[in-house]
Structure 1
Amino acid sequence: MKILVTGGTGVLGSSFAALAKENGYEVVLASRNRPSLSPAEWTYLNLETGEGLSTALSGVEVVFHAATSPAKNTEKVDVMGTSLLLEECIKNGVKHFIYPSIVGIDDIPMKYYRAKRSAEAMIMESGTPYSIMRVTQFHNLVDKLISILAKFPICIVPTNLKFQTCDVDEVSETFIQIVKNGPLGRVEDFGGPEILSLKEMYMSWKEQSKVNRVLIPLPYFPGKTFKAFQEGKNTNPLCEKGLHTWEHWIQKKQ
């Protein structure tokens, strides 16, 4: 079986591609820039323009659509790019379109999350056999956030934000099982094994990283988006859960 992985140089795309290769699948990574190290064949693809789509989808049975642009060009990549990709998938008779989405996009008023909702709707309405799984934030995302905050002698942390972070490799394992099962439509959400406040995560990170910073807690931060994260709208305590905790992940990272 041949799998095309869009966003193949990203955190999830590269993890999934490596695991798919280990499971014996033929994998093609698609991105604008060739990766310096790659576990699989690479092909050029620009989702903003559609350039490279026909070549990328040649002989492909499964598409794992991990390409995304959270900070810029979100509309072009996550919405218009997904539309172009779906059109080409229909032309090429792709048998399974797999889309990793995000837990909480119905309740958190972010432009990026609205784009993810639009992409989900297009996939469901396209007629292409699909599987969509929403996932909570990855451990490395919060690690990156805390690392930025801890660059300064005084670390100001919006302490009440809640996260249910998960291990990206465990997410990839779940998506590999979805490949094996075939199109399932909207599947159960996937999240980490615990829900923690950002303060709790910071304290664990600080202990493991041996970083000595003065913590200034911000128990309240204005805005609807921050309120949604404070209320845990980005979590799902009833979802399927991975095993690797935040503590386990930061210990392994050291």
Structure 2
Amino acid sequence: MRPILVTGGTGTLGRVVVRRLLARGCPVRVLSRQAHTPGEHGWAVGDLVTGRGVEAALSGAGTVVHCATTNGKRDVQATRRLVEAARAAGAGHLLYVSIVGVDRVPLGYYRTKAECERLVVESGLGWTVLRATQFHDLVARVLDGLSKAPVLLVPRGVSFQPVDVREVAERVAELAEAGPVGRADDFGGPQVRPVEALAADFLAARGRRRPVLRAPLPGGTGRALRAGGNLVPAHPAGRTTFAEFLAERYPA
């Protein structure tokens, strides 16, 4: 079997994807900007933004799982370089992990992800795009920052559908093994909940007492979120709820 190259393999999602692929018996190579001691999988040193080492990293790879992400034009530039290198290396499958709502919520970061999706779709390679809702880890990290203030302020009328990163990683591993499917079904968490309810659960899990206040979120982003542009209630593929995640992360 040709190795699977994973970009962003040391990140929140990527490192779990690597473990899931290894558990399935897949040969894995991780692209990193820094050298690492070889272990269960191979390492390739390279930088997607500059292109340094990317061609060598793709050598012999049959599938590329693109979990790496950054901000702004650098993300698009990195994805473009990866597409070009994968095409030159004759890779048969490029799998890109994106976010639910990139075509509905007018955030700059979401627009960037949508542009990266377009590059993958138009790459000429066999491709798969999987969109997932927000990870439990991200929601908890944001609420942790917001709860450091005396009052926890959340956007009014907005809900989220957080999902466990381990479940998304398992789906990514399945798709990587299966081969190109195009646009895969979106992967959402098991529950759609108002952000103030998620905040209350977080405060209780951390033993913090804060009033939770709702404030209007103006502009197109606020309208899109209130309309559920970040949600996929028809695809509640995840099993672990946010409350269950918190109980595991912050045991009493």
Q: What's the TM-score, normalizing by structure 1?
A: 0.93
Instruction: Please show how residues 34-113 of structure 1 align to structure 2 within 5 Å.
Output: 34=35, 40-69=41-70, 72=71, 74-76=72-74, 78-113=75-110
- Among residues 229, 243, 248, which one is paired with 1:247 in the alignment? 243
Q: What is the CA–CA distance in structure 2 between the aligned matches of 1:221 and 1:186, rounded to whole Å?
A: 31
- Structure 1 residues 35 and 108 mapped into 2: Cα distance closer, same or farther (>3 Å)? farther
Q: What is the CA–CA distance in structure 2 between the aligned matches of 1:154 and 1:168, rounded to whole Å?
A: 29
Matched AA of 2:139 = V
Matched AA of 1:13 = G
1:170 and 2:171 matched: no
Indicate the RMSD between aligned Cα atoms, in angstroms.
Answer: 1.7
Alignment match, 1:31:
32
Instruction: Please show how residues 1-254 of structure 1 align to structure 2 within 5 Å.
Output: 1=1, 2-34=3-35, 40-69=41-70, 72=71, 74-76=72-74, 78-218=75-215, 220-254=216-250
How far the C-alpha of 1:91 sits from its partner, in A, is 1.1
- Runs of 5+ in structure 1 lacking a partner? none
- Structure 1 residues 88 and 164 mapped into 2: Cα distance closer, same or farther (>3 Å)? same
Matched AA of 1:252 = E
- Give structure 1 regions of 4+ aligned residues with deviation exceeding 4 angstroms: 34-39
- Structure 1 residues 38 and 217 mapped into 2: Cα distance closer, same or farther (>3 Å)? farther
- Runs of 5+ in structure 2 lacking a partner? none
How far the C-alpha of 1:224 sits from its partner, in A, is 1.3
C-alpha contact (below 8 Å) 2:200/2:212 kept by paired residues: no
> Aligned pairs, how many?
249
How far the C-alpha of 1:217 sits from its partner, in A, is 2.6
Q: What's the TM-score, normalizing by structure 2?
A: 0.93
What percentage of residue pairs aligned between the two structures are identical?
Answer: 35
Q: What is the CA–CA distance in structure 2 between the aligned matches of 1:102 and 1:248, rounded to whole Å?
A: 22
- Which deviations, in whole Å up to 9, do the C-alpha atoms of 1:98-130 show, x marking residues without a partner? 001111111111111111111111111111011
- Structure 1 residues 244 and 120 mapped into 2: Cα distance closer, same or farther (>3 Å)? same
